[in-house]
Amino acid sequence: MPIQLKVEYSPLYELIASLTLYLDKKAPRVTDLGKPWVGKVNACIQPELKQTLSQLMEQTEDAFQDKQIFRYLLMRWAVESPEKGSVDSFLRWLQAQQAEELYERIDWGDLGPLPLDECKSMQEHVLTVVEQWNQQYFQDLDPAILQYLRADAEKKRRLAEKLDPVEVVEQATKGIRVQPIKSTWNLVLIPQYHYAPVNILTEYRNHCIWQYAVELPPEKPEDPPRSLVRLSNCLGDANRLRILRYIAEEPRTFMEIVRYIGLAKSTVNHHLVHLRAAGLVQRDFFVDKRMERHRLREVALDQVGGQLREYLLPDRISSTSRRGEGGQQ
């Protein structure tokens, strides 16, 4: 399969993830940070920025039928920028670009194309919003979070040296399996914290950019990992267990699951979102937009007992690990 895989990290990408999470009215409901995070952000940003973001959300929804045009342009410019090592360097690069050049870079697809004068307006929006968001929220983000993301990106690079790109994407996204394609495609993996446990996809031409979710360790040793809580919630729901049993038999489309489970599409989608977030569902991804299929991600079942034991019996796990190390010496 002609796939080129690259793993990237930059604070700029995490700024984009945090900003677009704020702009996405529905997303906070399914993220670990949740609606309380939105409240904390509202308490630290200035009214002027809050109003600008509110207007931007209205413009995006009215003009582009809920398509995240702002995020799409910002991600496209960020990925293609030679100065994305930091937020400030990216802003300097973007400010120096002619709107006509930025316009020509975009593969508009079904987004428009956006008129050139509106592209210029969006460039000004990006410069203003990103600079203010960085000053009022992002620059105060715990540096340990960015260090953890950088370290995870390095782990994925080492993994990519050993495994097929399809396997690396599957492990990083906890369940997205890219299906065979004829043409060459470029896959980019970028670690992100704000949208966790949700993965974010940006597509254009022959590129798929996955901002994959990274889970940080619990703040307190006695707190369970969020991944374990998600697994417990999924396995404690009868309908979700029925869905898992059904897709364990063979890969199923969304509508097949709807017909089998006998619930509304929105309810089934809600269950699948949580099952994917827990890493229990593997989803076939076709770059040519064919119908997706869902199957049980059996490797997650193998990890359930280990995660539960590691949390409930940490001293016993540590003792066993030390004995193992001693026997190898």
Neighbouring-strand partners of residue 213: 192
The CA distance from 259 to 17, in Å, is: 35
Give residue 211's pLDDT band: very low, low, confident or very high (50, 70, 90): very high
Question: In this predicted structure, what is the pLDDT of residue 157?
Answer: 97
The CA distance from 59 to 45, in Å, is: 20
Question: In this predicted structure, what is the pLDDT of residue 73?
Answer: 83
Structure tokens, 290: 């064919």
Amino acid letter for position 75: M
Question: In this predicted structure, what is the pLDDT of residue 329?
Answer: 39
Output the CA torsion 85→88→92→95 (10° steps): 110
| Residues 220, 190, 159, 299, CA torsion sign | positive
Q: What is the share, in percent, of the chain residues with pLDDT greater than 90?
A: 54
- What pTM value is reported for the model? 0.88
Question: In this predicted structure, what is the pLDDT of residue 277?
Answer: 92
As a whole number, the mean pLDDT across the chain is 86
Question: In this predicted structure, what is the pLDDT of residue 327?
Answer: 47
Give residue 324's pLDDT band: very low, low, confident or very high (50, 70, 90): low
Question: In this predicted structure, what is the pLDDT of residue 170?
Answer: 95
229-286 pLDDT, tens per residue? 988 888 889 999 999 999 999 999 999 999 999 999 999 999 999 999 999 999 988 7
Give residue 181's pLDDT band: very low, low, confident or very high (50, 70, 90): low
Q: Which helix (H) or strand (E) holds 213?
A: strand 207-213
Question: In this predicted structure, what is the pLDDT of residue 12?
Answer: 97
Checking if the pLDDT of 29 tops 50, the result is yes
Checking if the pLDDT of 22 tops 50, the result is yes
Question: In this predicted structure, what is the pLDDT of residue 155?
Answer: 97
69-118 pLDDT, tens per residue? 788 888 888 998 999 999 999 999 999 988 888 877 776 555 556 677 77
